[in-house]
Structure 1
Amino acid sequence: MNDPELLSVLALQNAPNLGDSTAKKLIRHFGSAEAIFKEKLTNLLKIDGIGKLRVEGLFDAKRFKAAEAELTYIQKNKIDHHYFQEPSYPEKLKHCIDGPILLFSKGNINLKDKKVLSIVGTRKITSSGIEFCEKLIEELSPLDPVIVSGFAYGVDITAHRAAVKNQLQTIGCLAHGLNQIYPRSHARYTSQIEENGGFFTDFWSSDSFDRNNFLKRNRIIAGLSEATVIIESANKGGSLVTADIANSYDREVFAVPGRPSDLQSVGCLNLIKSQNAHVLTSAADLIYVLNWELNSKGKEIQKQLFIELESQEQVVYDFLQGKGKQQLDHIAINCKIPTFKAAGILLEMELKGAIRPLPGKLFEVI
């Protein structure tokens, strides 16, 4: 993108009442951002859904001056920028109607042919929440997913650190410009994240820090990935907003169940009860729903996922793994287990995500 076009895109992004979806509509109609500012206001107003309020301030000289200042910052600091019509823009985010027209990044982000998973939750994470998050990412590590989160306290930073520990790419979505880090105590993690991953934001260096920025930021967390995991959440919280956004994008949402008496489990349980999230008890649940195929390290991840199989369950699992799809009677005979008991064992294994039923009373390993 040349500098005049980038300047025009920045001016659009800075328009007070326009919004990303309307800006995209105008760009597609006129062919470029630069062309929009060469049109008469009367021509803009002829477009369906473009009212006077939306374009009010669009030609304000102060807006262009601010855009020029941000362009200078981008050039001086060699900030990577990703335009929604260019190949470098994250593919999954392209399909989100309110995805930013321009995204800024820092680090070494590579999303090509990658499985991308967002993990969010409460800032007041419990010890069990930390344990689950770390174990989940460790179990998924053979699949080499990119772990996305919001770089905040609690679940977010736990997910980022676990990704780094398992040598996975991780991306922090910021609620401010790339000229600062919040919270400041997390500055010590930035170099590790930038080495293998990095940061995304659609906020400018001149934007003031505002709590509402976090809610706006959440659409990028949800939009970057094919699924969002909520580890812990109270009855209200930003992670529930992220879950709603992910559902609106037709992305999968997973929630970790907890005890009804635990305050940090209420939000997750409500998501599950309202059927707005899948139950997530292990990496196997996620792999099954997303139909993620195991790579060459498949045996390694299977060993991690199904380590809790009982002795007879392991016998059945090994038989199905070696013989492929089998009927209940054949499983019972070959594994030397009574049929009525084999049926119960298969049900337990299905609930654990180790096998799946098929038409014709057949079963196979996942």
Structure 2
Amino acid sequence: MTENEFIHILALQHVPKIGSTTAKKLIAHCGSVEAVFIEKKSNLLKIDGIGTITIEGLSDSIHFEEAEKELRFIKENHIGYSYFTDEAYPERLKHCIDGPLILFKTGNINLENKHIISVVGARKITTNGIAFCEKLVEDLAPYNPVIVSGFAYGTDITAHKAALKHNLQTIGCLAHGLNQIYPKVHKKYMADVEKHGGFITDFWSSDAFDRKNFLKRNRIIAGLSEATIVIESAEKGGSLVTADIANSYNRDVFAVPGRVTDSQSVGCNNLIKANQAHLLSNPLDVPYILGWELQDEVKPVVQKQLFVELEPDEKVIYNYLKENNKELLDVIALNCNMPTYKLAGLLLNMELKGVVRPLPGKLFEVI
């Protein structure tokens, strides 16, 4: 990419009414980013979804002036970047219609590893949430995954620190430019993260710090990854937005269940209840459902829980699945002579007891 092309990309990114999706549409229509700025407005207005308000800022020279300033910042601070058509641009983000036009990055990021997961959750994470998050990363470490999160309080920093502890690559997706860090208290972790991964953002150094940026940032967290794991969440929160975006990208979503009385488990329980996430009670369910394989012959040992107390109906289900291996929910209900609503509740209890697990397509099997 020439410097002139890069300046035009930055200038297009700076136009207020033109987001990533619209920018890509304009570039595809005009043939290049430079052509967007010289194309007749009458021709641009023929593009589906493009209106006068959208393109009115294209002729303003301020965008090129700001682009020059940002380029100086990038050069002076040795910031890396990748355009959405570049080979170095994250492969999974290329398949996201609203993936950033350009990404800025620092550190030693290597996304050739196909096992990339995002770990998100409550900022006010509980001790149980911390324990599960740390156990999750520890158990997944043999698969050498890349751990992606938002470098925020709570779940995010717990996931990053756990990744560093197990010498895994970790990536912080920021909701601001690379000239600052939020929260400031996490600055002490920056050097280690950049050594074992790095930071990614599509925000400029001149962008104002704004809470709405976090929601925009979440599309990168979801888009980079094969799957998004929600550790804890209240009824509403940014983690649920990330899960929703991941679902819209047809990515897997996992949620850790909790007691119905726990406020920080409401969001996860709702995701599971609405079939918007796999129930995650055992960290090793992640590689199982995603089909990960270890490169060596050493497989992690899954210890079955001994002497689990099963209710009479649960024993009927367990014995049926033990004889028939994987089976559909409706088929289990038919053969065990149970209504589906009752069976679903029993299977949930059995998942929590660690004796069965769900599979894609409403299948279940004995662990």
Map 1:125-274 → 2, pairs under 5 A: 125-274=125-274
Question: Is the CA contact (8 Å cut-off) linking 1:285 and 1:353 kept in structure 2?
Answer: no
Mark the runs of 5 or more structure 1 residues left unpaired by the alignment: 313-326, 330-347, 358-362
Corresponding position of 1:106: 106
What is the letter of the counterpart of residue 275 of structure 1?
N
Distance 2:272 2:358 in 1: 21
Distance 1:364 1:353 in 2: 6
Distance 2:297 2:93 in 1: 29
- 1:80 Cα shift? 0.3
Distance 1:82 1:296 in 2: 33
What is the letter of the counterpart of residue 16 of structure 2?
P
Corresponding position of 1:310: 306
Number of residue pairs the alignment of both structures matches: 325
Aligned-pair identity in percent equals: 60
- 1:356 Cα shift? 9.6
Cα 1:355/1:52, change in 2 over 3 Å: closer
Question: Is the CA contact (8 Å cut-off) linking 1:142 and 1:295 kept in structure 2?
Answer: no
Cα 1:172/1:349, change in 2 over 3 Å: closer
Distance 1:349 1:212 in 2: 37
Compare 118-127 and 67-76 and name the one that shifted more.
67-76
- 1:275 Cα shift? 0.9
RMSD: 2.3
Cα 1:156/1:297, change in 2 over 3 Å: farther
Cα 1:355/1:14, change in 2 over 3 Å: closer
- 1:354 Cα shift? 8.3
Distance 2:21 2:355 in 1: 40
- 1:63 Cα shift? 1.6
Distance 1:353 1:290 in 2: 19
Secondary structure in 1 matching 2:38: coil
Cα 1:262/1:142, change in 2 over 3 Å: same
Corresponding position of 1:41: 41
Cα 1:237/1:350, change in 2 over 3 Å: closer
Distance 1:268 1:151 in 2: 20
Distance 2:356 2:298 in 1: 13
- 1:295 Cα shift? 2.5
Summarize deviations over 1:309-345 as a string: whole Å, max 9, x none: 4389xxxxxxxxxxxxxx959xxxxxxxxxxxxxxxx
- 1:45 Cα shift? 1.4
What is the letter of the counterpart of residue 285 of structure 2?
D
What is the letter of the counterpart of residue 250 of structure 1?
N
Question: Is the CA contact (8 Å cut-off) linking 2:281 and 2:351 kept in structure 1?
Answer: no
Give TM-score, length-normalised by structure 2: 0.84
Secondary structure in 2 matching 1:307: coil
Secondary structure in 1 matching 2:57: coil
Question: Is the CA contact (8 Å cut-off) linking 2:37 and 2:59 kept in structure 1?
Answer: yes
Does structure 1 residue 294 correspond to structure 2 residue 294?
Answer: yes
What is the letter of the counterpart of residue 189 of structure 1?
Y
Distance 2:27 2:9 in 1: 9
Give TM-score, length-normalised by structure 1: 0.84
Question: Is the CA contact (8 Å cut-off) linking 2:83 and 2:103 kept in structure 1?
Answer: yes
Distance 1:349 1:60 in 2: 59
Compare 230-239 and 24-33 and name the one that shifted more.
24-33
What is the letter of the counterpart of residue 111 of structure 2?
L
